[in-house]
Amino acid sequence: MNYLKIILLLVLVFNLNFLYSQRPGGGAGQGQVANQMPSKPGVGGKLIDAQTNKPIPYASVALYNLSDSKLVGGSISSEDGRFFIETPNGNYSIEISFMGYDRFKKSEIQITDKMPMARLGIIKLNQAVVKLEGVEVIGNQSYVEYKIDRKVVNVERDLGASGGSAVDALENVPSVSVDIEGNVALRGSSNFVVMINGKPSPLSGGDALQQIPTAMIKNIEIITNPSAKYDPDGMSGIINVILKDNVSNGFNGFVEASYGSFGTYGVNSVLNYRKDKINYFVGLDAQKGRMPGTSGSDLINFASDTNMLRTSEISRMRGRSNYTAKAGIDYYLNAKNTISLEGAYGLKTGLKNFTGNIYERTNPTTYQLFTISQSVSSNEGEFYSGNLTWQHLFKREGEKLEATAFYSKDTDNDVEDQKENLSDASFTNYGPIDDWYHTTEEEVNSDLRLKADYTRTLSRERKLEAGLQSRIYREENNFVFTSFDTLSDTWLTNANQGNRIAFDRDIHAGYLTYSGVFRKTGYQLGMRGEYTYRSIEELDGGENYVINRFDFFPTIHLSQKIGESNSILASYSRRVDRPDGGELNPNPMFISSNFIRVGNPALEDEYTDNIELSYQKTLKNSFVSLEAYYRSTKNKISRLQQMDENNITYMSFANMDRDYSLGLELMANLQFTKWFRMNLSGNYYYYHLLGNLYSGAVDQSNYNYDFRADLNFMITSLMRFQLNGMYRAPSVTAQGEMAEFYMLNTALRYDFFDRKLTATLNVKDIFNTGRHEFYTYSSSFNNHNQFNRQGPQINLTLSYKINNYTKEKRNGMEEKREEGGGEM
């Protein structure tokens, strides 16, 4: 029955398309031209980026009377870069401006009875170029650009991210926070989706972002309220990483090497070759990271008359290595058909080595226990992915079909040893073994996705999009737990604390979006239907947890232009967060002998209603945005802790009743002079969490805020300096609160050899203030934990460009831009 609903939705989509094509004037029949200019007299054209050939939306277009230079009309370019200004007969000049691009000017535009329409055709805009004391300097593109449904982070503007990964690039991005462990949160939530070039990543969350070096990233899109075209997964939205490409004929690419504190290094390169209809590329990436630090905790268990107190001080070393090779080919069959094939293969290793001193006692004092804890774990795995895409452009302009097949497979093998030895009070002498555990975990998962997207432009202002998608995910997990028996001097397998899990999830979806303009108000309406089947089976016996359901996800986006420089945007979406294998897996993960993490296979999906309203104002060389948002989540998934009679703490997951967030986010890109730009963002919101736990009702609320500042100085035409800092205020959790967090970073960049070679020196966490601290309260115990990352971290990066955007190419583009040629 659920499959029938999907089929009916698809039939509805194409019936709408068919009915429209039968209406008088509804379709572009033979001899007609789609996206025609309006029948009214005026001036129109289309704006595209001279380097990428992509449309430029939201550019300011001003029309002046040629005789007295008075402003007679204006417009803002649409999503596809088009603009039109209605005007009576006369002689005019036009000026087009957009932040980060050269201004375009054209005079002697005539509107007469015989020629009531001035078609300027395709106008190519170049990135801004200015002259400083006779030296050509590429203009300062905004670090963060704001579009109707997303924020676009230009990673090359963040000097401090050089030599790092996508996680480092996100540390100074509005709406995003990163803690010292590299965990990423989007508007306070770790429930977001990672995509690469609009396609799903073979890894998830922070793991996926850690794998991508910044040298390969063109920009990162932060989409907090996606349309129905996108998967609804992720309560807080989508982080889409756009990789660099260069499709000009010939050979080009880059090579980058970096070295930093604690033996961290990275080497990566991408080489591209295009000739006529075929474009090839290969890429290699090798990274090794080390993160030393410390942690500590103070726990008190007051469940009985005699309180138990435990103090831990731990030295931590975390390391990771990633080695990835990728290759791809784009074949341009003809002007209407393109086939792309790309694949990637990677190896990954991880290491954790923790040594701790643990002091345990009672109050009143009846005993004292001193132990030295050692935890060593290693992870080895491999992953590969492949993606095949076919794009067909129809004869009618604005009509296309794109089909994609994606497959990935990921394997992980984890081995961990937990050992505690008795010691003296000074922790200098090892005594007999108190506890010794050995665990192994093998995980294999695969992900197959098939997708077809159809787009049709119905008129200059209306567009229809529809599509179908199937996602088939399989995961198997085998966990084995053994403990050392000191009496028999042997290892014993505990079957009760190990198991094998099979996790299946199938999702079949169909969507429809319709966008247009009604009385100067832009709109996009969308609906997505999804059928989900989820099964978690304990293969060695036990329960089988199944979810079988159909959901609808509506979306609404509205935009209103006010004058030339103001706009108001509003949007609504319904989203879902599906728990991952780690949250569902009932296998115990031993963080230490007295702290164990256990998943909950009975977890249900979270459902979130998200509303946003924003005001945006474009100044001469600056941009300001104020955004209000409201988010309500049902079946909120929270981390919970409880302690048993043996003073062992168990962390698990449970569905709360609901949580609410209501906030304001202020963002500003301010260009004060040609040599100084500042990017500021602040977020202030009220958070309320409601639910019921085994310890009783939960009703937590507080006001949260964070602030970020990014200062960029162009010292000379070849040297740039950057200083950025962030602050995050305390916040509440289901069982406690998180402490404040702040950090200051700096970077210096210098270009050599006509900007082909770039050296960047960055220092992260200058004052070593980066830490993660939280408090947990319950009716039977209180716990205080703190994690500190060793700092500051220093990194030097060298990057060399091969045949990238030579001056001859830029001059050629400049000539075409001045001509403004091409047909509409």
Q: What does the H/E/C string look like for 630-665?
A: EEEEECCEEEEEEECCCCCEEEEEEECCEEEEEEEE
The predicted structure's pLDDT at residue 159: 63
The predicted structure's pLDDT at residue 316: 93
Per-residue confidence band for 814, with pLDDT thresholds at 50, 70 and 90: very low
* Concatenated DSSP letters of 604-628: PPEEEEEEEEEEEEE-SS-EEEEEE
- Which of the given ranges, 156-160, 187-191, 223-227, has the highest pLDDT on average? 223-227
Per-residue confidence band for 29, with pLDDT thresholds at 50, 70 and 90: very low
Pair 51, 813: CB distance under 8 Å: yes
The predicted structure's pLDDT at residue 190: 64
In terms of C-beta density within 10 A (0-12 exposed, 13-18 middle, 19 or more buried), how is residue 234 classed?
buried
The total of other beta-carbon atoms located within 10 Å of residue 248's CB is 15
Looking at beta carbons, which pairs linking 773-777 to residues 24 or more positions away fall under 8 Å? 773/738, 773/739, 773/741, 774/733, 774/736, 774/737, 774/738, 774/739, 775/736, 775/737, 775/738, 775/739, 776/641, 776/733, 776/735, 776/736, 777/735, 777/736
Q: What is the DSSP letter of 68?
A: T
Which carries the bigger pLDDT value, residue 554 or residue 269?
554
Which carries the bigger pLDDT value, residue 652 or residue 409?
409
pTM of the predicted model over 0.95: no
- Tens digits of per-residue pLDDT, 9-22? 443 444 444 333 33
The predicted structure's pLDDT at residue 816: 32
Question: What's the mean pLDDT in 746-763?
Answer: 87
The predicted structure's pLDDT at residue 7: 39
The predicted structure's pLDDT at residue 95: 86
Residues whose CB falls within 8 Å of the CB of residue 698, separated by 6 or more in sequence, listed in order: 656, 689, 690, 691, 692, 734, 735
Residue 128 CA to residue 98 CA, distance in Å, equals 10
User: Which has the closest alpha carbon to 612: 550, 555, 545?
Assistant: 555
Residue 154 CA to residue 720 CA, distance in Å, equals 16
* Concatenated DSSP letters of 751-791: EETTTTEEEEEEEESTTS--EEEEEEE-SSEEEEEEEEE--
The C-alpha R_g of the chain, in whole angstroms, comes to 29
Question: What's the mean pLDDT in 666-680?
Answer: 84
Residue 290 CA to residue 261 CA, distance in Å, equals 8
Per-residue confidence band for 245, with pLDDT thresholds at 50, 70 and 90: low
- Which of the given ranges, 204-213, 276-285, 403-412, has the highest pLDDT on average? 403-412
The predicted structure's pLDDT at residue 413: 96
Phi then psi dihedrals of residue 514, to 5 deg: -135, 125
The total of other beta-carbon atoms located within 10 Å of residue 252's CB is 20
The predicted structure's pLDDT at residue 148: 56
Question: What's the mean pLDDT in 209-227?
Answer: 75
Please tell me the number of Cα atoms within 13 Å of 361 on its side-chain side: 9
Mean residue pLDDT across the chain: 80
Q: Which amino acid is it at 440?
A: T
Residues whose CB falls within 8 Å of the CB of residue 189, separated by 6 or more in sequence, listed in order: 235, 236
3-state secondary structure of 361: strand
- Tens digits of per-residue pLDDT, 309-362? 999 999 999 999 999 999 999 888 887 898 999 999 999 999 999 999 999 998
* Concatenated DSSP letters of 568-590: EEEEEEEEEE---HHHH--SEEE
Distances (CA, A) of 400 to 29, 46, 339, 708: 16, 19, 14, 41
Question: What's the mean pLDDT in 440-451?
Answer: 94
The predicted structure's pLDDT at residue 392: 93
Q: Where is average pLDDT lowest: 57-71, 202-216, 676-690, 787-801?
A: 202-216
Torsion of CA 258, 260, 266, 267, to 10 degrees: 30
Per-residue confidence band for 650, with pLDDT thresholds at 50, 70 and 90: confident
Q: Which amino acid is it at 698?
A: V
The predicted structure's pLDDT at residue 823: 24
Quick check: 205 pLDDT over 60? Answer: no
Residues whose CB falls within 8 Å of the CB of residue 304, separated by 6 or more in sequence, listed in order: none
Q: Which helix (H) or strand (E) holds 795?
A: strand 793-802
The single residue listed with the structure tokens 């108000």 is 521
Residue 223 CA to residue 194 CA, distance in Å, equals 11
Q: Which amino acid is it at 650?
A: Y
**Does residue 364 have a cis peptide bond before it, meaning omega lies within 30 degrees of 0?**
yes
The single residue listed with the structure tokens 């540390």 is 171
The single residue listed with the structure tokens 């008795």 is 422
The predicted structure's pLDDT at residue 22: 38
Q: Where is average pLDDT lowest: 225-239, 343-357, 533-547, 770-784?
A: 225-239
Residue 441 CA to residue 416 CA, distance in Å, equals 9
Question: What's the mean pLDDT in 113-137?
Answer: 64
Q: Which amino acid is it at 364?
A: P
The predicted structure's pLDDT at residue 756: 82
Residues whose CB falls within 8 Å of the CB of residue 541, separated by 6 or more in sequence, listed in order: none
The predicted structure's pLDDT at residue 127: 65
The predicted structure's pLDDT at residue 138: 39
Question: What's the mean pLDDT in 423-437?
Answer: 88
* Concatenated DSSP letters of 266-281: EEEEEEEEEETTEEEE
The predicted structure's pLDDT at residue 596: 79
The predicted structure's pLDDT at residue 572: 93
Q: Where is average pLDDT lowest: 229-243, 396-410, 648-662, 739-753?
A: 229-243
- Tens digits of per-residue pLDDT, 473-525? 999 999 888 989 888 889 998 777 778 889 999 999 999 999 888 877 888 99
Token code pair at residue 312: 């831990």
Which carries the bigger pLDDT value, residue 218 or residue 426?
426
Question: What's the mean pLDDT in 22-47?
Answer: 52
Quick check: 440 pLDDT over 50? Answer: yes
Quick check: 821 pLDDT over 60? Answer: no
What are residue 264's DSSP bridge partners?
Answer: 260
Quick check: 75 pLDDT over 90? Answer: no
The predicted structure's pLDDT at residue 799: 85
Residues whose CB falls within 8 Å of the CB of residue 22, separated by 6 or more in sequence, listed in order: none
Distances (CA, A) of 125 to 254, 369, 810, 814: 25, 72, 11, 8
The predicted structure's pLDDT at residue 25: 35
The predicted structure's pLDDT at residue 135: 33
Dihedral-angle region of residue 541 (phi above 0 means left; psi in -120 to 50 means alpha; beta otherwise): left
- Tens digits of per-residue pLDDT, 713-731? 889 888 889 898 889 899 8
- Tens digits of per-residue pLDDT, 533-544? 999 888 887 778
Per-residue confidence band for 23, with pLDDT thresholds at 50, 70 and 90: very low
The total of other beta-carbon atoms located within 10 Å of residue 679's CB is 23
Percent of the chain scoring above 90 in pLDDT: 27
Quick check: 365 pLDDT over 70? Answer: yes
Residue 245 CA to residue 804 CA, distance in Å, equals 10
Helical H runs in 277-382?
none
The predicted structure's pLDDT at residue 312: 93
Please tell me the number of Cα atoms within 13 Å of 748 on its side-chain side: 5
What are residue 205's DSSP bridge partners?
Answer: none
3-state secondary structure of 746: strand
Per-residue confidence band for 278, with pLDDT thresholds at 50, 70 and 90: confident
Question: What's the mean pLDDT in 427-451?
Answer: 90
Residue 653 CA to residue 802 CA, distance in Å, equals 50
Quick check: 403 pLDDT over 90? Answer: yes
Q: Which pairing describes strands 42-49 and 117-125: parallel, antiparallel, or unpaired?
A: parallel
The predicted structure's pLDDT at residue 450: 96
The predicted structure's pLDDT at residue 32: 28
Phi then psi dihedrals of residue 53, to 5 deg: 60, 20
Residue 296 CA to residue 359 CA, distance in Å, equals 12
